[in-house]
Amino acid sequence: MSAMWIRSTYSDSQGGQCVEWAPGLTSGAGDVPVRDSKDTGRATLTFSLAAWAAFVEDVKRDER
């Protein structure tokens, strides 16, 4: 299955902090796949929707 991976807006153009997620690949259980965009051949990590949402909120909170 092909996926559209979305790179984090926090990733920089010098190759740092490169995280991508694929919203179309969530499983029936709602797991969210995440990978390192610098090495897309490596295995992905999966997080529950609740864990992913908490992570995103924490990142946003640190931005303020």
For every one of its 64 residues, what pLDDT tens digit does the chain have, with 9 covering 90 and above?
Answer: 567 888 877 666 666 667 888 877 766 667 888 988 888 888 888 898 889 889 888 888 876 5
The tally of domains found in the chain comes to: 1
Q: Residue 23's pLDDT is what?
A: 77
In a domain, 1, yes or no: no
In a domain, 40, yes or no: yes
Q: Reduced to 3 DSSP states, what percent helix, strand and coil does the chain have, rounded to the nearest 5?
A: 30, 20, 50
DSSP single-letter state for residue 44: P
User: By residue range, what is the domain housing residue 14?
Assistant: 6-63
In a domain, 11, yes or no: yes
